[in-house]
Amino acid sequence: MSKNILFFTTPAYGHIIPVAPIIKTLIKNGCNVTCYCSSQFEKEITSWGAKFLEYPYDTSELVAHSAHVSHFELVYRVIETEHKYYYDILDKSKNEKYDLILYDHLFFMAKHIAFKLGLKSVCFRTTFAVNIFVMLSTGIFFNNVKMMMQHKKTINKIKKIENEFRKLNSLQKFEMSDLTLNKGTKTLVFVPKEMQIFASTFPDDVIFVGTTIKERIKENVFDEYTQDDDNYDCYVSLGTIHNKNQTLISEYSTC
C-alpha cells in the first residue's frame, strides 16, 4: 500500500533544489507526495509527479522580506504568519489521512501539525547544523551573542507568542534550539558527517546524510576534470536571498 506524504517546503531555490531528488525518489518508489509551496514552483513540483498545494499566505513577501531583516525578525514574522493559518492547514490535513510529514527546518508549524495528527515528522536542514559546541569552536558564538543582544526584544516576542500558542494548543514547550534545528522525529542534515563540525555532539535523531544532488557528480559537468584527476570540485553556495549582490559574487568567483 502506497504511503501518503505531506511536505512543507520553503519556497526559495536554495531550499527547493536540494529536496527535489527526495521528492522524485519517493514518487518513483510509489509514494503519493503532496507539497505545500508557492505558485512560483508549481510547475516544477507537478512535473515531478507531486500534488501541489499553495500556502494560504503570500510566501513571496516573506522571502523578499528576508533579504532586509535579521534572522530573528524573519523568524518572528514567519511564526506570526503561520499561527494565523495553523488551524486551517491542520483541518485540511486531517481530511487527507497522511502517513508522514516532511518539512524544511524554516517551516516551524509542520511539527506541530504532525504532533496533532499523531504522525512522525522528518525535518530537512539544507546547510550545516549548529549547536553550542559549533558556535564556541567556530567563533560565531560571540557574533550570535552580540546579535541576540541587539535583537533581544524580538527574541522575547518570539518566545512569548510561541509559548502562548503552544500552551493553548497543548504542544511541546518552545526551546531556543528550535531556531536552528527545529527538530522533528528525525532531522536529516544535507552535509556529510565528515564535514560537519562536532558531528558527534548532536543527538542520534540528527543524521548527516550528505548532498542530495547526485546528478552533478554522475554527469561530471566540468569537462576539464575526470574521475582520475587529483583535483576536486568545490561548490560554494552564496544562497539565493542575497543573489543580487553581484560585487560579492564576482569577488568570490575569482578566488
Contacts for 38 with CB less than 8 Å, ≥ 6 apart: 11, 54, 55, 59, 60, 63
The pLDDT value recorded for residue 221 is 42
pLDDT at 254: 46
pLDDT at 252: 45
pLDDT along the chain (255 residues), means of 10: 92 88 94 96 94 91 73 87 95 94 92 95 92 75 69 90 95 85 92 91 94 60 49 56 50 46
- The answer to whether 63 touches 241, Cβ cutoff 8 Å, is yes
Helical axes 152-168 vs 140-150, angle rounded to 10°: 80
Question: CA-to-CA distance for 116 and 146, rounded, in angstroms?
Answer: 36
Task: Give the cell for residue 50.
Answer: 507531486
**Which structural domains are found in the chain, ordered by start?**
4-253 (3.40.50.2000)
Cell numbers 539544507 label which residue? 126
Cα of first residue to Cα of last residue in the chain, in angstroms, is 52
Task: Convert the chain into a string of H (helix), E (strand) and C (coil).
Answer: CCCEEEEECCCCHHHHHHHHHHHHHHHHCCCEEEEEECHHHHHHHHHCCCEEEECCCCHHHHHHHCCCCCHHHHHHHHHHHHHHHHHHHHHHHHHHCCCEEEEECCCCCHHHHHHHHCCEEEEEECCCCCCHHHHHHHCHHHHHHHHHHHCHHHHHHHHHHHHHHHHHCCCCCCCHHHHCCCCCCEEEECCEHHHCCCHHHCCCCEEEECCCCCHHHHHCCCCCCCCCCCCCCCCCCCCCCCCCCHHHHHHHHCC
Confidence at residue 114, expressed as pLDDT on a 0 to 100 scale: 96
Provide the pLDDT for residue 23.
95
Q: What is the pLDDT, as a whole number, of residue 146?
A: 72
| pLDDT (0 to 100) of residue 60 | 78
Please tell me the predicted confidence (pLDDT) of residue 142: 63
